[in-house]
C-alpha cells in the first residue's frame, strides 16, 4: 500500500512457515505481497477498514477469538493460521450465511463470471445447501439512469458506500433498514450524485450493476482492450469490453492505470457514440449540390486535386488546415504533414486553454498523480476540477482526507471543492491577477480591493502556500493573460524557500496538450476562422467543431464563401453538411495511437474494434492526402512509424516510446521549464490589477453538481445513455415508471 | 448477620429522593467536595482501583483499570460518557437508580471527570426512557443552579458540563462504541477495536464509557474509601451491586446485594420465593445475553463474578430472570432469539444472517414443520456464529441457545415432537 514502510521488515509464521513481511503492514496486505490471498469482501485496498464481512478471519496465536486480517497489523514473531480445519470451517460457515438469503441466480446475473462471491463460494463454500427457509425477496430497481440495484444479492461489504463517501465526496448511498432487512440504497430511492458508477465497479457481487450492461454479453465472452479515455484531459485508462464490432462497456476494474479503478460518468457511460447509428461510415463527395457516397480512392483524389488547384490558383496561403484537441497525436502529426505538403503556414486548432502562455511561463514540471498524492499544499486557482477534471479532483481530495495535505482554493465561482479547502478565497470575476499580485508581495490593500477579498485572506493564503514543501498549483482557465503567466510560475513569486512546486494546467479536452505539442500555436485559431472566405479559400478541417460557438451563423456564411471545404469527422456536423467532401474518421476505439494527458504524460490508445463501416483513422486519411499532394510519406500503414517520426521531430517526446508506454503505462514528456522574470511578472500583474473592474459583483450562485460534468459535447450528444440522462448540464428528472419503482423504506 | 450496607440504593424509598434538597440531606455531593478540595485526580483513580469496582453494565471490566488507560498527556479534550442505554431484556436497575437517585449519577460523573481531566459528560439514555431523561434533566438543572455543575464547581477551578442524550431505540447502542457513533449522530454500528475508547473514543478523543450504576457507586467509594467498598464484597469483586429480579418470584424488583451473596437467599429472602409455591426451573442470572442455569445450579451459586463463572454463566448486567416449572425453555429461548434477530444491527455477516436464519428455524419448529435434524443445525449454526462476529451481540444470541439446549434438552425434544404433530394435525380454524 504505502512505500515508506518497506524499509523495515519483520518475520511472521504462516501455518508454520516463516515469512518476511514489511513491518507495520496490515496482515491481509502483507500476505498478498507474498502471493497468499485471504478471501474477503469488505476489505478494499484504498478504503478504510471495515471488518464486517468476517471472511478474512484468521487464527493468531495467543488471541482468544479469530481476528480479521484486514485490521490486524503484523508483529514480529506473530504466528498466523490461515489454512487449518478451523479456518476452512469458518469460511464455509460465513459463505453459507451470505448465500442464505442470496437468490442464487448466477445464470442471469450480469456479474456472473467476475463475481467475488461466486469465486469464493466456489473455492471455499459448501457443496450442499442447508438453508431451507424462506428468503426475503427484494425486487431489482433502477436507482439512476445508469445503475440498478438488486438488493437481494448484497453481502453488505459497504464498499459502495465508502467509495461514494471517500473517493467521490458525494455520500449519496446509505444503508437502509436494519439487520436482515438491511439494503443499500438512497433515502428517496434515487441517486443524487455524479453518476460515476464507481460503486458498481467495486461491488463484489451482482448487487449494483450498470443498466447499460443489463443482460449484456457474459463477461468472459468480451474482448477487453485497455486504452485511454476520449473525454477529458485527465486521461483515465479504461477497459473497453467489446464483442465483434460493438463496444458493450467501459470499465476500469483491474485498476492498473493512473486512475486505478476510478472513472467518471462520461468515461464509464459515454462510449455509446462509438457504435452510434449516426456515424458517418463512408466518404461523401458533393455532386450536383448533393453529397453522394464515394469510394475512398475517389474521395481522396478529389480532395488532393481541389486542394492543389486552390493552392496553385491563389497561393499556398489560401489553404488552411485545422487539427483537433480530440484526435490522437499521430492524427495531428499527419494533419500537419498535409499543411507541409501544401506549403501553407495556416495550420491551427481550436484551443480550449491558453497553453502557449502557460507553457511559456511554467516554472516547473507538470504535476503528475504522484506529485498530487504526495503534496502537502495544493492550490487551485480559477478552475473547478470537480466538474471539469474528475480524476484530478479525486486525486486531490485523497491526501486532504487523510490529513496529509491542505487544500487552498481561489475562484470567482463558488466551486464545490471549496468545502474541502482549508481556505477558500472568493474572488470577484477577473480578480485572479489581483490576488496573485498580493501573493507576490504587492500592496495587500490594492490587491484585496481589486480581488474582492479581505487583505487578511491574501496574507494567510500567502503564508500557507509559503509553508508548503511540496506544492501543487492547479491553474484553471479563469486565469488569463498576466494572471495565467503568474499562476503558472507561482513558485517564483512566493518568498524563496526550500520547496518543490509543480503545476497542472486545468485543460479540458483529452488531447489538449498533445495538440499543442504537435500543432503548436503558429497561427491563432481566430485569425484562421476570421479569414475564411477572404484570404483563405480552401479548408481541410479535422475533428473541428467549427460551428459550436455563438458566431455559428457568421461562420456558416464564411464557410459558404470557400472554394473548397473538406471535413473529416465522426458525425455529420453542421460544417460537414456544407462540405464538398466529407471524410469519415474512426473513433479512438477503432485505432491505435497516443493521447497526451493533463500531466503531459503520453498514454497509448489501443484498437478495441475494427473501424465501423469504412471509416479510417485520422492519421491514415491525412497521410494519404499528404502523399497524393506529393509529399514523401515514410510511414505507410503503420501508426508506430508515424509516432516515431513525431518523436524525432519533437524532443519532448523523444523518450516516450511505445515500448516504454507498454511497460510503464503513462510516460511524462520532458519539457524544459521556463525561468520567467519575476519583476516582469509583477509589473504585468500590477497593470492587470489596475485594469480590473472593481465594480464587478461576486458570483454568489454555487456551482451545482454536474453543471459542466453533465454537459455532453459532440461525442456525448451521440452517446444515447448520456443524452437520455442529461440535458443542459443537468440530470433529467425521473420518469413516472421510475418514480413508481423506487424502493420504499420498510417499516420493520 | 448485620443488615447489609446499601451503597447505591441507600436513598431509594426516601420521599423526594430525586430532589437536590433530599440528596444533600443524605451525604449528597460530600464526595465531590472531598475529591475536588482534598484529593488529586490520581488519588481518586487509586481509590477506585483499590475498591475492586467492576463495571456494572455487563462485561465486568475493572473500572479503575479502565480509567487508567486514558492517556494523561493527550492534548485532546477527554470525555466521560455514561451508558444509560439499559436495553438488556430483564435489566431495569439503572432506571430505578436514575428515577430515585439522579444526583448520585451526576456526582459520579463529575468525580470521574475530575479524576480524568474531562470537562464534558454525556449521559446517553435509551430512547424508551423518556421520563427518566426528563428526571435527569431536571436534576441536572438543579445541580447547575446550585453550582454543582458548570463553571467553577464548588468554588474550585474545576468546570464540567453534563448533558443527556436520548437513544433512538437500538439495542446495539448499548455497546460502547456503537453508543459513541450514535452520540456523534452516526448510525449505531460498533467500531473496530482497537483503538479502544479510552484512547480514541467520542470524536476521536479519549473517552471513558461507564454504566450508570458504576458511576453512581463512585461517590460512596470516594467518601468511604476503596478498601471499605471492597470489604463489602469478595476479594476480586468488590462491594455491592444492584440486581433486578423479574419473572416467577413473589416479589420481583431491584435489590442491592453484596457481591458473593447466595442466589438462593436472593430468591427466597429478598424475592419471597417462587410464585404459587412452584418449583424453580431455571434462572438467567445476568440479563438475557448470558447462559441460562438450572435450578440446582441456581441454589448453589453465589452472586459474584468468579463463582457464577464456575457454573458457566456470567453476572452480566444483573438482570435475574427467574422461570418456574411452568416455563418452556424452548419458547423462552425463541423469544430471545427473536429479540436478537430484531436487534442485529446488520454490520457483520454471522450476526445479520445467522440470527435471521436461527429465528426462522425456531419459528418453524414453533409453528409446525420442525425436524429432528433441526436441532443439530441449530448447534452447527451457533458454532459458525459464536466468536466470529464484530461485537459481542452475536455471542449473546448464541449463548442462551447453546446453554439451554445443553441444560434443558427435553424441552427442545418436546418442541420437535409438538412441531411434528402440528404439521400432521393442523389446528382447527
Domain of residue B201, CATH code: 3.40.50.11540
Q: Residue A179: which of B192, B352, B377 has the nearest Cβ?
A: B352
CA separation for the pair A269, B385 (Å, rounded): 41
Number of C-beta neighbours around residue A499 at 10 A: 17
Q: What is the ipTM of this complex?
A: 0.93
Query: What is the chain A residue with the closest CA to B190?
Result: A52
Reduced to 3 states (helix: H, G, I; strand: E, B; else coil), residue A306 is: helix
Predicted pLDDT of residue A748: 40
Say how far apart CA A607 and CA A588 lie, in whole Å. 7
Q: B135 with B257, same domain?
A: no
Angle at A601 between CA A649 and CA A678, to 5 degrees: 85
B44 domain-assigned: yes
Looking at the fold, whether B191 and B340 belong to one and the same domain comes out as: no
Contacts of B354 in chain A (CB under 8 A): 97
So what's the pLDDT on residue B94? Answer: 96
How are beta strands A67-68 and A57-60 bridged, if at all?
A: antiparallel
What pLDDT is stored for residue B347 in this prediction?
Answer: 94
pLDDT for the residue numbered A728: 81
The pLDDT value recorded for residue A5 is: 45
Distance from CA of A203 to the nearest CA of B (A): 16
Which residues form the domain of B181? Answer: 20-224
Nearest to A156 among B341, B352, B354 (CB): B352
Using the beta-carbon criterion (under 8 Å), do A175 and B349 form an inter-chain contact? Answer: no
Inter-chain touch B170–A178, beta carbons under 8 Å: yes
**Among candidate residues B324, B357, B384, the one where a domain is terminated:** B324
- Tell me, yes or no, whether B11 lies in a domain: no
pLDDT (0 to 100) of residue B213 = 96
Out of A175, A178, A180, closest to residue B353 by CB: A180
Query: Which residues of chain B does A65 touch, with a Cβ-Cβ cutoff of 8 Å?
Result: 387-388
Contact B347 A52 (CB under 8 A): yes
From chain A residues 12-51, the ones with a CB under 8 A of any chain B CB are 49-51
A89:B357 CB<8 A: no
Chain A 352-411, CB below 8 Å of chain B: which residues? none
Q: Under an 8 A CB cutoff, do B356 and A100 touch?
A: yes
Nearest to B353 among A71, A97, A134 (CB): A97
Report the gap between the CA of A67 and the closest CA in chain B (Å): 8
- For B120, phi then psi, to 5°, come to -140, 130
Contacts of B290 (CB under 8 A, 6+ apart): B284, B313, B314, B315, B316, B396, B399, B400
Q: Which of B348, B394, B423 to mutate to test the interface with A (most CBs of A within 10 A)?
A: B348
* Residue B332 near residue B382 (C-beta atoms within 8 A): no
Q: What is the CATH number of the domain that holds B354?
A: 1.20.1440.230
Domains of chain A, first to last: 9-83 (3.10.20.740), 102-273 (3.30.70.20), 284-352+512-668 (3.40.50.740), 355-505 (3.40.228.10)
Residue B128 distance to chain A (closest CA, Å): 17
Same domain, B304 and B415: no
Q: Same domain, yes or no, for B138 and B280?
A: no
- CA nearest B365 in A: which residue? A133
* Residue spans of chain B under pLDDT 70: 1-3, 425-429
Same domain, B88 and B53: yes
Task: Provide the 10 A C-beta neighbour count for residue A736.
Answer: 7
Backbone angles phi, psi at B54, to 5 degrees: -115, 150
Please tell me which residue of chain A has the smallest CA distance to B369.
A133
Assess if residue B10 is contained within a domain: no
Nearest C-alpha in B relative to A55 = B349
| Closest residue by Cα to residue A486 from A501, A475, A495 | A475
Q: Are residues B54 and B71 in the same domain?
A: yes
DSSP B32: H
Q: Is the N-terminal amide bond of B34 cis, ω within 30° of 0?
A: no
Residue B121 and residue B186 share a domain: yes
Percentages of chain A per state (helix, strand, coil), in multiples of 5: 35, 20, 45
- Of B11, B206, B6, B40, nearest to B111 by C-alpha is B40
| A687 CB neighbour count, 10 Å cutoff | 12
Distance, C-alpha A521 to centroid of its chain: 25
In a domain, B198, yes or no: yes
Say whether both B44 and B161 belong to one domain.
yes
- Does B350 sit within 8 Å of A97, measured CB to CB? yes
Q: How many domains does chain B have?
A: 3
Same domain membership, residue B114 and residue B168: yes
Q: Select from B266, B290, B324 the last residue of a domain.
A: B324
Report residues of chain A scoring pLDDT below 50: 1-5, 747-748
Q: Is residue B350 part of a domain?
A: yes
Using CA atoms of A274, A275, A277, A279 in order, give the dihedral in degrees to the nearest 10.
Answer: 30
Task: Give yes or no for a contact between B323 and B298, defined as CB atoms under 8 angstroms apart.
Answer: no
Overall size of chain A counted in residues: 748
Which of B345, B346, B349 is the closest to A53 by Cβ? B349
Q: Is B4 part of any domain? A: no
Residue A3: its pLDDT value, please? 43
d(CA A472, CA A482): 20
- Determine, yes or no, domain membership for B164: yes
Question: Looking at chain B, how many residues does it have?
Answer: 429
Contact B388 A66 (CB under 8 A): yes
Q: Report the C-alpha gap between B273 and B284 in whole angstroms.
A: 16
- For residue B118, what is its C-alpha cell? 474531562
Closest chain A residue by Cα to residue B353: A97
Query: Is residue B134 assigned to a domain?
Result: yes
The Cα–Cα gap between A213 and A219 comes to 10
Q: Find, among A352, A353, A350, A342, the residue nearest to A320 by Cα.
A: A342
Asked if B333 and B318 sit in the same domain, the reply is no
Q: Cα separation of B348 and B394, whole Å?
A: 9
Q: Does A100 touch chain B (CB under 8 A)?
A: yes
Chain A residue numbers with beta carbons less than 8 Å from the beta carbon of B342 are 179, 748
Q: Which of B179, B162, B79 is nearest to B127 (CA)?
A: B179
| A54–B356 C-beta distance less than 8 A | no
| Contact across the interface for B353 and A65, Cβ inside 8 Å | no
Phi, psi at A621, each rounded to 5°? -60, -50
Instruction: Write A574-581 long-range contacts (CB < 8 A, 24+).
Output: A574/A546, A574/A547, A575/A541, A575/A544, A575/A546, A575/A547, A576/A280, A579/A284, A579/A286, A579/A291, A580/A285, A580/A286, A580/A302, A580/A306, A581/A283, A581/A284, A581/A285, A581/A286, A581/A299, A581/A302, A581/A303, A581/A306
E-only strand ranges, A486-563: 500-505, 538-542
Q: Chain A contacts of B357, Cβ < 8 Å? A: 97, 100, 131, 133
pLDDT at A637: 74
Cα separation, A352 vs A524, whole angstroms: 12
Of all residues in chain B, the one with the smallest CA distance to A49 is B192
Spatial separation of the C-alpha atoms in residues B264 and B293, rounded to whole Å: 13
Q: Which of residues 120-139 of A touch B (CB under 8 A)?
A: 130-131, 133-134, 136
Q: Which residues of chain B have a CB within 8 Å of the CB of A175?
A: 187, 346
Q: Calculate how close chain B gets to A469, using CA atoms only, in Å.
A: 26
Say if the Cβ atoms of B346 and A131 lie within 8 Å: no
Domain boundary among B163, B197, B224: B224
* Contact residues, A window 174-233, toward B, CB-based 8 Å cutoff: 175, 177-182
Distance from CA of B386 to the nearest CA of A (A): 9
* A380 close to A411: Cβ distance less than 8 angstroms: yes
Residues 6+ apart with CB under 8 A from B255: B9, B242, B243, B245, B266, B270, B271
> B335 and B291, same structural domain?
no
Say whether B388 and A93 touch across the interface (CB within 8 A).
Answer: yes
Cross-chain residue pair B353–A49, CB shorter than 8 Å: no
Whether B311 and B333 map to the same domain: the answer is: no
Amino acid at each position: 500500500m504505502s512505500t515508506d514502510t518497506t524499509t523495515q521488515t519483520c518475520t511472521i509464521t504462516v501455518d508454520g512457515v516463516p515469512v518476511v513481511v514489511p513491518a507495520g503492514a496490515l496482515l491481509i496486505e502483507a500476505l498478498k505481497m507474498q502471493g497468499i490471498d485471504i478471501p474477503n469482501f469488505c476489505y478494499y485496498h484504498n478504503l478504510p477498514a471495515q471488518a464486517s464481512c468476517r471472511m478474512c478471519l484468521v487464527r493468531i496465536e495467543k488471541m482468544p477469538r479469530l481476528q480479521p486480517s484486514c485490521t490486524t497489523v503484523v508483529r514480529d514473531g506473530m504466528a498466523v493460521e490461515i489454512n487449518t480445519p478451523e479456518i476452512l470451517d469458518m469460511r464455509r460457515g460465513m459463505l453459507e450465511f451470505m448465500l442464505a438469503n442470496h437468490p442464487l441466480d448466477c445464470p442471469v446475473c450480469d456479474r456472473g463470471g467476475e463475481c467475488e462471491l461466486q469465486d469464493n463460494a466456489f473455492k471455499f463454500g459448501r457443496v450442499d445447501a442447508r438453508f431451507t427457509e424462506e428468503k426475503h425477496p427484494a425486487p431489482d430497481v433502477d436507482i439512476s439512469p445508469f445503475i440498478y440495484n438488486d438488493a437481494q444479492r448484497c453481502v453488505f461489504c459497504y464498499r459502495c458506500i465508502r467509495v461514494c463517501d471517500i473517493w467521490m465526496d458525494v455520500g449519496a448511498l446509505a444503508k437502509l433498514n436494519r439487520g436482515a432487512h438491511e439494503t443499500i440504497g438512497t433515502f428517496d430511492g434515487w441517486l443524487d450524485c455524479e453518476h460515476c458508477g464507481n460503486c458498481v465497479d467495486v461491488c463484489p457481487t451482482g448487487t449494483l450493476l450498470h443498466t447499460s450492461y443489463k443482460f449484456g454479453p457474459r463477461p468472459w465472452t468480451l474482448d477487453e482492450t485497455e486504452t485511454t479515455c476520449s473525454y477529458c484531459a485527465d486521461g483515465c485508462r479504461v477497459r473497453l469490453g467489446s464483442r465483434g464490432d460493438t463496444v458493450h462497456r467501459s470499465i476500469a476494474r483491474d485498476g492498473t492505470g493512473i486512475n486505478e479503478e476510478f472513472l467518471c460518468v462520461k468515461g464509464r457511460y459515454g462510449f455509446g457514440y462509438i457504435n452510434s447509428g449516426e456515424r458517418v461510415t463512408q466518404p461523401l463527395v458533393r455532386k450536383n449540390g448533393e453529397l453522394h457516397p464515394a469510394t475512398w480512392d475517389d474521395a481522396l483524389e478529389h480532395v488532393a486535386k481541389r486542394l492543389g488547384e486552390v493552392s496553385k490558383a491563389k497561393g499556398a496561403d489560401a489553404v488552411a488546415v485545422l487539427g483537433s484537441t480530440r484526435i490522437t497525436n499521430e492524427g495531428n502529426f499527419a494533419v500537419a504533414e498535409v499543411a507541409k505538403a501544401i506549403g501553407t503556414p495556416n495550420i491551427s486548432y481550436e484551443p480550449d486553454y491558453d497553453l502557449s502562455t502557460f507553457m511559456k511561463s511554467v516554472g516547473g514540471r507538470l504535476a503528475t498523480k504522484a506529485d498530487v498524492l504526495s503534496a502537502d499544499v495544493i492550490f487551485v486557482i480559477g478552475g473547478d476540477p470537480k466538474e471539469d477534471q474528475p480524476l484530478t479532483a479525486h486525486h486531490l481530495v485523497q491526501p486532504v482526507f487523510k490529513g496529509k495535505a491542505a487544500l487552498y482554493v481561489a475562484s470567482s465561482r463558488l466551486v464545490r471543492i471549496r468545502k474541502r479547502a482549508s481556505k477558500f478565497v472568493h474572488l470577484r470575476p477577473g480578480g485572479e491577477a489581483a490576488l496573485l499580485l498580493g501573493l507576490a508581495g504587492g500592496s495587500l490593500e490594492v490587491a484585496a480591493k481589486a480581488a474582492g477579498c479581505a487583505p487578511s485572506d491574501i496574507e494567510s493564503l500567502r503564508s500557507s502556500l509559503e509553508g508548503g514543501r511540496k506544492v501543487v498549483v492547479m491553474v484553471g482557465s479563469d486565469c488569463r493573460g498576466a494572471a495565467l503567466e503568474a499562476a503558472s510560475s507561482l513558485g517564483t513569486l512566493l518568498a524563496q524557500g526550500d520547496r518543490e512546486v509543480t503545476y497542472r494546467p486545468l485543460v479540458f479536452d483529452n488531447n489538449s496538450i498533445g495538440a499543442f505539442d504537435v500543432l503548436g500555436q503558429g497561427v491563432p485559431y481566430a485569425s484562421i476562422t476570421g479569414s475564411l472566405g477572404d484570404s483563405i479559400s480552401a479548408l481541410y478541417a479535422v475533428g473541428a467543431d467549427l460551428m459550436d460557438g455563438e458566431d455559428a451563423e457568421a461562420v456558416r456564411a464564411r464557410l459558404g464563401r470557400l472554394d473548397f471545404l473538406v471535413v473529416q469527422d465522426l458525425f455529420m456536423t453542421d460544417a460537414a453538411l456544407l462540405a464538398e467532401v466529407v471524410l469519415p474518421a474512426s473513433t479512438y476505439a477503432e485505432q491505435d495511437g497516443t493521447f497526451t494527458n493533463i500531466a503531459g504524460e503520453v498514454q497509448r490508445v489501443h484498437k478495441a474494434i475494427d473501424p465501423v463501416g469504412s471509416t479510417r483513422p485520422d492519421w491514415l486519411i491525412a497521410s494519404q492526402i499528404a502523399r497524393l499532394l506529393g509529399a514523401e510519406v515514410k510511414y505507410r500503414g503503420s501508426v508506430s512509424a508515424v509516432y516515431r517520426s513525431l518523436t524525432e521531430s519533437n524532443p519532448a517526446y523523444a523518450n516516450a516510446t511505445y515500448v516504454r508506454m507498454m511497460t510503464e503505462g503513462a510516460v511524462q514528456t520532458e519539457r524544459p521549464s521556463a525561468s520567467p522574470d519575476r519583476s516582469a511578472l509583477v509589473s504585468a500583474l500590477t497593470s492587470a490589477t489596475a485594469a480590473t473592474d472593481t465594480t464587478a459583483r461576486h458570483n454568489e450562485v454555487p456551482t451545482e453538481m454536474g453543471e459542466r460534468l453533465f454537459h455532453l459535447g459532440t461525442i456525448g450528444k451521440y452517446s444515447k445513455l448520456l443524452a437520455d440522462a442529461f440535458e443542459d448540464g443537468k440530470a433529467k428528472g425521473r420518469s413516472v415508471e421510475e418514480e413508481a419503482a423506487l424502493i420504499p423504506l420498510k417499516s420493520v | 448477620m448485620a443488615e447489609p450496607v446499601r451503597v447505591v440504593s441507600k436513598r431509594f424509598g426516601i420521599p423526594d429522593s430525586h430532589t437536590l434538597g433530599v440528596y444533600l440531606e443524605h451525604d449528597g455531593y460530600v464526595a465531590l467536595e472531598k475529591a475536588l478540595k482534598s484529593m488529586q485526580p490520581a488519588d481518586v483513580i487509586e481509590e477506585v482501583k483499590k475498591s475492586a469496582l467492576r463495571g456494572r453494565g455487563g462485561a465486568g471490566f475493572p473500572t479503575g483499570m479502565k480509567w487508567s488507560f486514558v492517556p494523561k498527556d493527550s492534548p485532546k479534550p477527554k470525555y466521560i460518557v455514561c451508558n444509560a442505554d439499559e436495553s438488556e431484556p430483564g435489566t431495569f436497575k439503572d432506571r430505578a437508580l436514575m428515577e430515585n437517585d439522579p444526583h448520585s449519577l451526576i456526582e459520579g460523573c463529575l468525580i470521574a471527570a475530575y479524576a480524568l481531566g474531562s470537562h464534558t459528560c454525556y449521559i446517553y439514555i435509551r430512547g424508551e426512557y423518556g421520563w427518566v431523561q426528563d428526571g435527569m434533566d431536571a436534576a441536572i438543572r438543579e445541580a447547575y443552579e446550585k453550582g454543582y455543575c458548570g463553571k467553577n464547581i464548588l468554588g474550585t477551578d474545576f468546570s464540567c458540563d453534563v448533558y443527556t442524550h436520548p437513544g433512538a431505540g437500538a439495542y446495539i447502542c448499548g455497546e460502547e462504541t456503537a453508543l459513541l457513533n450514535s452520540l456523534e449522530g452516526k448510525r449505531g454500528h460498533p467500531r473496530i477495536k482497537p483503538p479502544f475508547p479510552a484512547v480514541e473514543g467520542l470524536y476521536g478523543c479519549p473517552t471513558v464509557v461507564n454504566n450508570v450504576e458504576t458511576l453512581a457507586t463512585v461517590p460512596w467509594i470516594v467518601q468511604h474509601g476503596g478498601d471499605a467498598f471492597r470489604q463489602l464484597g469478595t476479594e476480586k469483586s468488590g462491594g455491592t451491586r444492584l440486581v433486578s429480579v423479574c419473572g416467577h418470584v413473589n416479589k420481583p424488583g431491584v435489590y442491592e446485594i453484596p457481591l458473593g451473596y447466595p442466589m438462593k437467599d436472593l430468591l427466597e429472602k429478598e424475592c419471597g420465593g417462587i410464585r404459587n409455591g412452584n418449583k424453580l426451573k431455571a434462572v438467567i442470572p445476568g440479563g438475557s445475553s448470558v447462559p441460562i442455569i438450572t435450578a440446582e445450579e441456581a441454589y448453589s451459586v453465589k452472586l459474584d463474578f468468579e463463582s457464577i463463572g464456575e457454573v458457566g454463566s456470567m453476572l452480566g448486567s444483573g438482570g435475574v430472570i427467574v422461570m418456574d416449572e411452568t416455563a418452556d425453555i424452548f419458547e423462552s429461548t425463541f423469544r430471545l432469539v427473536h429479540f436478537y434477530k430484531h436487534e442485529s444491527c446488520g454490520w457483520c455477516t454471522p450476526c445479520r444472517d445467522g440470527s435471521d436464519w436461527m429465528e426462522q428455524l425456531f419459528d418453524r419448529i414453533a409453528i409446525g414443520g420442525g425436524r429432528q435434524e433441526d436441532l443439530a443445525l441449530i448447534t452447527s449454526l451457533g458454532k459458525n456464529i459464536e466468536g466470529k462476529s464484530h461485537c459481542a451481540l452475536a455471542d449473546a444470541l448464541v449463548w442462551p441457545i447453546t446453554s439451554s439446549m445443553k441444560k434443558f434438552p427435553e424441552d427442545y425434544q418436546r418442541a420437535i415432537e409438538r412441531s411434528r404433530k402440528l404439521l400432521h394435525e393442523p389446528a382447527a380454524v
